[in-house]
Chain A
Amino acid sequence: MWKRCYHWFNERFDLPKIQKPINDQLTKPLPGHISWFHTLGSMSFFLFISQVLTGILLLIYYHPTQKEAFESIKFITNEVYMGWLYRQIHAWGSNLMIIIVFLHMLRTFVTGSYKKPREITWILGVLLFVMTVIFGFTGYLLPWNQLAYWATTVGTEIAGAVPFFGEFLKTFLRGGTAVGGETLSRFFVIHVIILPWALFFIVIFHLFCVRYLGMSTMDKVGEEKKVKEGQGVPFFPHHVLKEGIVLFVLLGVLITLSVFSPFELGEKANPLQTPHAIKPEWYFLSMYQVLKHFPKSIGIFVLGLAPLFLLIWPFLDRTPQRHPSKRPVSMTIGILVVLSLVIFGVLGWVSETRIHVFGKTYDVDMYGKPHLVPAQTPPVQKDIAP
């Protein structure tokens, strides 16, 4: 049977000729230092596939209108068989994807893999990261609940602070003066049509670059030794096996989180009532926190620089070394950036909440500064002077 199929196709396409490059790719040896950290890319890819599949399933029952969006998600969660599971996997998948894609970028940064000749691979990667975040932002609105509605209001308002055409941009994104049905449609189209396809093609291009240029070694730029046949780690089965194991674990984590820590749907969006202390999703928290310290337009400028720096990073860091221990400057910059992301993120997380530490209660203000609440004050007197 198999033979006859092969024969049938072989009469039409020159199969051995097609097979050869595929085999070459499969057996291609990878540099010896390839480790578990080099599976982050395939993990991102796996999550993307998972998002596409669960996304398609959700689309079957989802209605992207102001009137029905919330109800249709509720329907998916409560009525449809396994609907809750797919919604949760989709929601958790998006969060994990942002973490994994970020870690992937971090790994590339640490191993200096973005250096010549792989600048374009890095740039495409940064684009993919940014798109993943936009995926998160646009998808967040679709359930049309209170948090989503107001997070989007604040998010698009920030776009409005862009100098000169901010106001236009804001209206353009919202499709009107306020977040409403038009915004939902726009975000929906971006989320389910534009981004998936754009991402798909960029991923292909990105993977092509990775394969064509070969995995980066730890050698100096320009002195990279080509891994010879029989040396290093064979892509198949060694590395693929590693990837398989990682994907298996990832799938387990994804489903465990979905089952044991589901996302709440909350209340339906109410354009007349802002919930208290509205915050963006966790991956925007650090940016959001930074924004609080600046007047809006300057804050935008500062935030806009970050992705720009990421994009042109290979052209800023021109030292030939790849090994992290030989690149003190870029490693310091990297560590500082990650640290500040974490610190501002945590500050943003606790800001405007009431926290309990060691039996004491603190009201945290919007800048993340805690103010001690005296032991037996009547509840929530919000603006007690420090």
Chain B
Amino acid sequence: MKEADMNRSGEKEISRRTFVDWVIKGGLLVALAGVLYPALSYLRPVMRRGAISEMEEVGGVNDIPVWGGKKVIIGGSAVLIIRTPDAFKAFSAVCTHLGCLVDWDGQKREIICPCHAGIFDLNGRNISGPPPRPLPVYTVSVINNKIFVKV
């Protein structure tokens, strides 16, 4: 610390030059952050989420035979719809292990993942293989012979 920076009682005092120096440095930093923030947020993906409660029509009842399945994409994510004799079921088709798309095996009545032989039952529960969690379940409604899924 230079002598000029001390006042009479010996305390440190910031000289004008140091002060201006700090103001400039601080200003630069703020400006940098001001530039960086919009740049970074620019990189954030735009996720167009539809209204949450919206039902999506995925086809007529007769598109899927009993014990048949169908995969559709709703709002960017793949959904598996299965028809049992008395109901329709909809699951996220994205395997909870590493994200492969599961298939419906109508004969064995299981949902199987082609990647690492993960198997889920009719309720989406993981029953064998590596998947750690059940498949998310979605609500299905049938109105006027049309299938609607709420994601």
CB distance from A369 to the nearest CB of B (A): 13
Q: Is the CB of A172 within 8 A of B45?
A: yes
Given contacts A154-B100, A157-B98, A296-B132, contact A276 B114 (CB under 8 A): yes
Closest chain B residue to A171 by CB distance?
Answer: B45
Q: Is the CB of B132 within 8 A of A171?
A: no
Q: Is the CB of B114 within 8 A of A278?
A: yes
Closest chain A residue to B101 by CB distance?
Answer: A274
Which B residues are CB-close (under 8 A) to A172?
43-45
Interface of B, secondary structure class, is: loop
| Interface hits, B57-103 → A, CB 8 Å | 71-73, 76-78, 94, 97-103
Given contacts A153-B99, A273-B101, A295-B132, contact A176 B76 (CB under 8 A): yes
Q: Is the CB of B45 within 8 A of A182?
A: yes
Q: Is the CB of A366 within 8 A of B47?
A: no
Closest chain A residue to B102 by CB distance?
Answer: A274
Given contacts A154-B99, A182-B45, A278-B100, contact A352 B76 (CB under 8 A): no
| Interface hits, A90-149 → B, CB 8 Å | none
Q: Is the CB of B101 within 8 A of A272?
A: yes
CB distance from B75 to the nearest CB of A (A): 8
Closest chain A residue to B115 by CB distance?
Answer: A278
Which A residues are CB-close (under 8 A) to B114?
274-278
**Alpha-carbon distance between A273 and B71 when the two chains are bound, in angstroms:** 9
| Interface hits, A159-209 → B, CB 8 Å | 160, 171-172, 174-178, 180, 182
Which A residues are CB-close (under 8 A) to B117?
352, 365-366, 382-383
**Alpha-carbon distance between A175 and B43 when the two chains are bound, in angstroms:** 8
CB distance from A189 to the nearest CB of B (A): 10
Closest chain A residue to B49 by CB distance?
Answer: A177
Given contacts A178-B77, A366-B116, A383-B117, contact A153 B47 (CB under 8 A): no
Which A residues are CB-close (under 8 A) to B76?
176-178, 180
Which A residues are CB-close (under 8 A) to B115?
150, 154, 274, 277-278
**Alpha-carbon distance between A190 and B69 when the two chains are bound, in angstroms:** 38
Mask of A254-271 contacts with B, CB within 8 angstroms, 1/0: 000000000000000001
Which B residues are CB-close (under 8 A) to A295?
132
Number of A residues with CB within 8 Å of any CB on chain B: 32
Interface of A, secondary structure class, is: loop
Given contacts A178-B76, A274-B115, contact A171 B47 (CB under 8 A): yes
**Alpha-carbon distance between A352 and B116 when the two chains are bound, in angstroms:** 8
B136 at the interface (CB under 8 A from A): no
A221 at the interface (CB under 8 A from B): no
Closest chain B residue to A173 by CB distance?
Answer: B45
Q: How large is the interface on B (under 10, 10 to 19, 20 to 34, 35 or more residues)?
A: 20 to 34
A238 at the interface (CB under 8 A from B): no
Q: Is the CB of B100 within 8 A of A153?
A: yes
Which A residues are CB-close (under 8 A) to B132?
295-296
A226 at the interface (CB under 8 A from B): no
Q: Is the CB of B101 within 8 A of A175?
A: no
CB distance from B46 to the nearest CB of A (A): 8
**Alpha-carbon distance between A158 and B43 when the two chains are bound, in angstroms:** 20
- A178, A182, A276, A277: the one within 8 Å of B78 (CB): A178
**Alpha-carbon distance between A320 and B127 when the two chains are bound, in angstroms:** 55
**Alpha-carbon distance between A156 and B99 when the two chains are bound, in angstroms:** 9
**Alpha-carbon distance between A271 and B101 when the two chains are bound, in angstroms:** 8
B134 at the interface (CB under 8 A from A): no
Closest chain A residue to B113 by CB distance?
Answer: A274
Which B residues are CB-close (under 8 A) to A296?
97-98, 132
Which A residues are CB-close (under 8 A) to B45?
171-172, 174-176, 182
Given contacts A172-B45, A175-B45, A178-B76, contact A292 B100 (CB under 8 A): no
Give 6 CB contacts A-B under 8 Å.
A172-B44, A272-B78, A274-B100, A278-B100, A278-B115, A366-B117
Given contacts A274-B102, A278-B100, 8 further A-B contacts (CB under 8 A): A153-B99, A172-B43, A177-B47, A272-B71, A272-B78, A276-B114, A278-B115, A366-B129
Give residues in A with beta carbon < 8 Å to B: 150, 153-154, 156-158, 160, 171-172, 174-178, 180, 182, 271-278, 292, 295-296, 352, 365-366, 382-383
